[in-house]
Amino acid sequence: MAYVITEPCIGTKDAACVKVCPVDCIYEGDDQYYINPEECIDCGACEPECPVSAIFTADAVPAGQESFTGKNAAFFGL
């Protein structure tokens, strides 16, 4: 289950998650970072590093932020 970066990342874009990702699957977009679900190894290293608690497993995205799962997939053309 890949991870998804949600709304709190917008405007913050702290790269702490990028620095700890062992497979470099986190990419910078115009307004936020995105995790490539085809490259993510589900290690979870990024989740505790996010200073704004914006990273969740795809099945645990908070209510009202489900659209970020689709936004993430669209960023990678999936």
Torsional class of 42: left (φ above 0), alpha (ψ -120 to 50), beta (otherwise): left
For the entire predicted model, the pTM comes to 0.93
Please, which pLDDT band fits residue 1 given cuts at 50, 70 and 90? low
Residue 9 pLDDT > 90, yes or no?
Answer: yes
Q: pLDDT value at position 70?
A: 94
> pLDDT of 38-60, one tens digit each?
999 999 999 999 999 999 999 99
Q: pLDDT value at position 2?
A: 87
Mean pLDDT of the chain: 95
